[in-house]
Structure 1
Amino acid sequence: MIQIVPVKSKKELASFIDFPHELYKNDPNYVPELFIAQRDLLTTHPFHKHSSLQCFLAYDGDRIVGRIAAILNNNHNNFNKRNDGFWGFFDCINDQETANQLFAAATQWLKDRKVDQKIIGPVNFSTNEACGLLIEGFDSAPFLMMTYNAPYYAQLIERAGYSKQIDLIAWHWDGDNYDDKSVRLLNALHERLKRNNIIIRKVNLKNFKEEAAKLREVYNSAWDKNSGFVPLTDDEFDYLAKDLKLILDPDFVLVAEQNGKLIGFGLALPNYNEIFQKIKKGRLFPTGIFKLLLNRRKIKSLRIYALGVVDGYRKMGIEACLYGGIIKEYKRKGLLHAEAGWTLENNTMINEAIMAIKGDPYKKYRIYEKDI
């Protein structure tokens, strides 16, 4: 008999974080999340200052067989004028009854908090964090900060009454199989932008705090029309920036600036999942930290994490300069793979731009919804 238990203790939280390791122990494409990062996300992340969640574990006797988190994101509802709830951190054995009970527990928790419109997932807080269920592209490991799950999850979710809200696309380049037109035209594009007092430069890590504040303004402006978007608070962006600073390569962080004002940026990250995949159960200590430190320079793939330009400056060539600059560094450093993602399926402008440089839409993720 399946029993659903709300997570309350540190021990239960550790079991919640660790459950996927057992579930995917025989899956060669599974990448464990770092335990410290997941623990902090679920307990001390600035999200908890304005919103709330409850984690649940499913037990079959003494054995954990599933997990889910019910999420009430007040900032999302206030910004989008909605009264929706979310679920995330969903993992489950291939058993419909277990999945149904997990969804029921999450739904009841949200109903108790007066949510009365839709329940949406999988979303681990918001679309600013990990989100979407992998529905195509199970033959390779996920890139950094992208989700992964078994193919049967879609059936569990759909049989529980959920239907598609929107799909997200991840794009891939292999080796030098890309169109380098934006690289060849970089000098000409830069000169054209200079006539409008627009320059493209690398991020200044020595003045990172001030740079991050400007990047936050661009981020919250450039993405605000995207489906399900919610602006990051100052604390949330600072939290994200602090984490990213530990792993970013300044050669892959480019900003567009006009008369000292940031109007766009492109951010690509070394794919640390190449290393995390080898760190057992996501534990950096005692030995995982050495794998991280010794192998960080051996990373051969890159994830284009974010690229955006504020309204009023689009289609001027800034996007091409940002992509071109990232491709140029990718080529110079001899990297072997790159991923851009995700993008919304209905973002025609950015998707056509990616296809123009021969991006391959190799993975697809889905966000589901259901009336409560």
Structure 2
Amino acid sequence: MWQVLPVNSKSQLKAFIDFPHALFKGDPNYVPELFIAQRDLLTPGKHPFHEHSTVQPFLAYEGNKVVGRIAAVLNRNHNQTNHQNDGFFGFFDCINHQEVANLLFSQAAKWLKEQGAETMIGPVNPSTNETCGLLVEGFDSPPVVMMTYNKPYYLDLLERAGLTKQVDLIAYQFTEHYNERPFRMTKILEERLERKGIKIRPINLKKFKEEAAKLREVYNQAWDKNMGFVPMTPQEFDYMAKDLKMILDPDFCMVAEHDGEIVGFSLSVPDINQVLINVKNGRLFPTGLLKLLFQKKKINGLRIIALGVLENYRKLGIEACFYGHAMEEFKKKKMKVAEASWILENNTLMNQGLLNMDAKPYKKYRIYEKAI
């Protein structure tokens, strides 16, 4: 009745990318992924992830109708960095039918086991440097840019298939009525940092390529102790930076320099999902591009997407200055809502810091695992 087949053609890849549009039809919180971006992400030769790793997508069919999808991911950089034999799954979407879900997970696990993997972890699409995590709390609003969304029943599908929680990822929300008290110290903190030779400044878009190379070094060092972290290759970081530059507002991207060397950075981006939610089936042509151009100025949301400081420079107030600048610009540009995401549940320093700023934990995402 059901069958799961590997994706081996352009038409199958198109069906793989488009399946969620039919599954989520009528869901007011569903934001379609851009077709071009998903196609390139999943195509060897188009995205640098494939230079070191392998992604094998699968489709579940009932007759000729697609009823589910999954991708098995062998991330060789992850295994080399963390000395593991892990496999991953991602891009999971499925009708509410346990047998279909079981077949998809079984097929992904079989493929991963053939590659030598001993565990299956996910969802990651295709790594923790991209979108990842299953939404388990906070279904009452759309996801912000580069965050995932799924039906509540996915939780049961995964757990009944034998997957168990590895870790939760928390998303925090600030509204326009945020408590300004914690940010009033920003100027004093900056003056104190400057006396130590540390300067906070906006990113220099005129030297973007040079800045991005320095930011990658900080990113790979500042996040290296996070669960399952995989350093980004120069090609991967450049690819992501090029994409982000298209929506970047330099007022929301700050760096910390010590004697001219970048020791930390924060990146916040306008929530482009407020526009993409109205782009039918993720197609920019013929009308999606116009929506993107004309509605971009109406965006009133922000995602604080990354904030990292080298270990020797932590607890000096740099992180507080980054948040202070972001919220100052948030207020100046009359934005309504900001999300800080994602934060590992066991990252006590970051979680407590956000709670101290009266940020509200409002969405929770989960990474699952299973021995195979």
Q: Which interval holds the TM-score relative to the shorter structure?
A: over 0.9
Offset, 1:268: 0.4
- Give the aligned partner of residue 80 of structure 1: 82
In the aligned structure 2, how far is the partner of 1:184 from the partner of 1:254? 18
User: Equivalent residue for 1:139?
Assistant: 140
AA aligned opposite 1:49: E
**Partner amino acid, structure 1, of 2:121:** I
User: What is the count of residue pairs matched by the alignment?
Assistant: 370
Cα distance per residue 1:166-197 (max 9 Å; x no partner) = 00000011222x22234322221111001110
**Residue equivalent to 1:159:** 160
1:288-342 deviations in Å (ceiling 9; x for gaps): 0000001111100000000110101000010010000000000000000010000
2:39 is equivalent to residue 39 of structure 1? yes
For 1:125 and 1:30, the matched residues in 2 are separated by 20
Partner Cα distance (2:154, 2:180) in 1: 38
Q: Which residue of 1 aligns with 2:13?
A: 13
Name which of 107, 110, 120 aligns with 1:108: 110
**1:188-246 CA deviation, whole Å, 9 max, x = no partner?**
11110011100000000000000000000110011000001000000000000000001
Question: What residue number does 2:56 align with?
Answer: 54
SS in 2 for 1:165: strand
TM-score (norm 1): 0.99
User: Percent identity at matched positions?
Assistant: 62
Distance 1:324 1:57 in 2: 46
Q: Is the 8 A contact 1:182 1:321 kept in 2?
A: no
Tell me the equivalent position of 1:96.
98
Unaligned runs of 5+ in 1: none
Specify the code of the residue in structure 1 equivalent to 2:316.
M
Q: What is the alpha-carbon distance in structure 2 between the residues aligned to residue 68 and residue 126 of structure 1? A: 14
Residue identity opposite 1:239 in structure 2:
Y
Mapped pair 1:366 → 2:370? no
Structure 2, unpaired ranges of 5+: none
The one-letter amino acid of 2:134's match is L
In 1, distance between residues paired with 2:153 and 2:183? 41
Distance in 2 (CA, whole Å) between partners of 1:99 and 1:295 is: 37
Which residue pairs with 2:189 in the alignment?
189
Partner of 1:306: 306
* Structure 1 Cα separation of the partners of residues 182 and 40 of structure 2: 40
Give the superposition deviation at 1:285. 0.5
Q: Distance in 1 between matches of 2:307 and 2:264?
A: 8
1:68 and 2:70 aligned:
yes
> How far 1:164 moved relative to its partner?
0.3
* Contact 1:58–1:66 (8 Å) recurs in 2: yes
Counterpart amino acid of residue 324 in structure 1: G
Aligned partners of 1:280 and 1:288 also within 8 Å: yes
1:297 and 2:297 are equivalent in the alignment: yes
Is the CA contact 1:126–1:229 (under 8 Å) kept in the aligned structure 2? Answer: no
Supply the AA of the counterpart residue of 1:245: K
Deviation at 1:150, TM superposition (A): 0.2
Structure 2 Cα separation of the partners of residues 218 and 249 of structure 1: 20
Corresponding position of 2:260: 260
Shift of 1:125: 2.0
Q: Which amino acid aligns with 1:127?
A: T
| AA aligned opposite 2:68 | G
Q: Which deviates further from its counterpart, 255-264 or 178-187?
A: 178-187
What residue in structure 1 maps to residue 171 of structure 2?
170
Please tell me the residue identity of whatever aligns with 1:292.
L
Counterparts of 1:148 and 1:356, CA distance in 2: 27
**TM-score normalised according to structure 2 size:** 0.99
Q: Give, in whole Å, the separation in 2 of the partners of 1:134 and 1:103.
A: 18
SS class of match (1:30) = coil
What is aligned with 2:121?
120
Query: SS in structure 2 opposite 1:312?
Result: helix
Distance in structure 2 (CA, Å) of the matches to 1:290 and 1:265: 33
CA distance in 2, matches of 1:226, 1:204: 28
The answer to whether the aligner puts 1:225 opposite 2:225 as a matched pair is yes
Q: CA RMSD in A?
A: 0.7
Q: Distance in 2 between matches of 1:119 and 1:187?
A: 47
Mapping of residues 242-253 of structure 1, within 5 Å: 242-253=242-253
- Distance in 2 (CA, whole Å) between partners of 1:217 and 1:314 is 16
Matched position secondary structure for 1:144: coil
- Partner SS, residue 313 of structure 2: coil
**Letter of the structure 2 residue corresponding to residue 59 of structure 1:** Y
Distance 1:345 1:322 in 2: 21
Q: For the residues of structure 1 that align with 2:183 and 2:174, how far apart are their CA atoms?
A: 15
**Secondary structure, in 3 states, of the residue corresponding to 2:31?**
coil
Residues 182, 323 of structure 1: 8 Å contact kept:
no
